[in-house]
Amino acid sequence: MALTIAHYIKNMGKLANQYFDGPQIYKEKTRQRTYLKDIDCPPVWHDKLQEHIPPGLFYLNDSTGEIGGPGAVNEPILGATGKRKGRGIARAGDLMSSLPPDMRAENMMCYIGHEGTYTPAHREMCASLGHNIMVETSGNTVDEDGKPERPGSSIWFMTESKDRHMVAEYWLSILGHDIEVENHFAQVIAWKKAPFKTYVVEQRAGDFILIPPLAPHQ
C-alpha cells in the first residue's frame, strides 16, 4: 500500500506515543519505526535555506575568496580586453561544485522522523563537514484527539575529529561493529564507558548543527 507523506505526518503523533510506555519499548524489534531518511530536498526548500545558511556552508557553493581579496591576481576578462582582479585566497568551498554534474553526490537531503527513529553511528565520507538544520518540530498544535503534541527535538552524540581512530577501535573491539558501516546505534551506557569524550547536544527547531570532519556521531 502506498504511503503518502501527508498521511505519515498526520499519524506521526500515534507513532511517537507508542514509545512512551517505558524504556523496554525501544528494544522491541516489532515496534513500527517509520523514518523518512535521505528524502530529496524540494527546490522551494533549497531556495529558502539558501537565505539562512552561511554561503560558505551551502551545497555546491564555490566561495573561494572575495573578488579582489588578499592574494587576488589579475585575470583576463572573458569576452573583453584587459584584466581585472580575481578571487583572493580563502578556505575552499564545496569541492563537489568542481566536479561535473553527473559525478556529484546528492547530499542536500531531508529527514523526517518521530520518537523511536534514529540514525546509527557513522562518520561522513571524504572528510567533509557535516551539517543539519532542524526546520520544524511537533509541540505547537494538538492532535486529532485534542491533546497537545509532545515537544519535538533530536539528541546528538558527537565526538572530536582527533579521536576518530580511538572511536573506530572502540567500536570494533568492544562493540563489535565497524564505524564505517552505518548499522549500529550505540546505547547510552556504551557512550558513558567510552575512553574518549562524547558531546551530547539537544537540537530544537532552528538549531544548525555542525559535525567536525571524520568525527563519528549518531
Is there a contact between 158 and 194 (Cβ–Cβ < 8 Å)?
no
Cβ density class 74-110: b for 16+ within 10 Å, e for less: eeeeeeeeeeeebbeeeeebbebeeeeeeeeeebeee
Q: Cα separations (Å) of 102 from 24, 38, 166?
A: 46, 19, 36
Confidence of residue 208 (pLDDT cuts 50, 70, 90): very high
pTM over 0.85: no
Beta-ladder partners of 210: 131
State mean pLDDT over 41-55. 89
The pLDDT of 35-40, averaged and rounded, is 91
Record the cell numbers describing residue 81, joined without a space: 580586453
pLDDT in tens, 102-113: 888 888 899 999
Average pLDDT score over residue span 203-217: 94
Asked if residue 90 lies in contact with residue 69, where contact means CB atoms within 8 angstroms, the answer is yes
137, 218 Cβ separation under 8 angstroms: no
Q: Which three cell numbers stand for residue 213?
A: 570532519
**pLDDT-derived band at 90, boundaries 50, 70, 90:** low
Percent of the chain past pLDDT 70, that is, above it, reads 94
Res 142: pLDDT: 73
Tens of pLDDT, residue by residue over 195-204, are: 999 999 999 9
At 65 the pLDDT is 66
Which DSSP string do the residues of 34-94 spell out, in sequence order?
A: --EEEEEPPHHHHHHHTTTS-GGGSTT----S-BT-TT--EEEPTTSSSEEE-B-------
**Residue 52 pLDDT exceeds 70:** yes
Strand-strand pairing, 208-211 and 109-112: unpaired
Mean pLDDT of the chain: 87
110, 48 contact by CB (below 8 A): no
Considering only CA atoms, give the Rg of the chain: 22
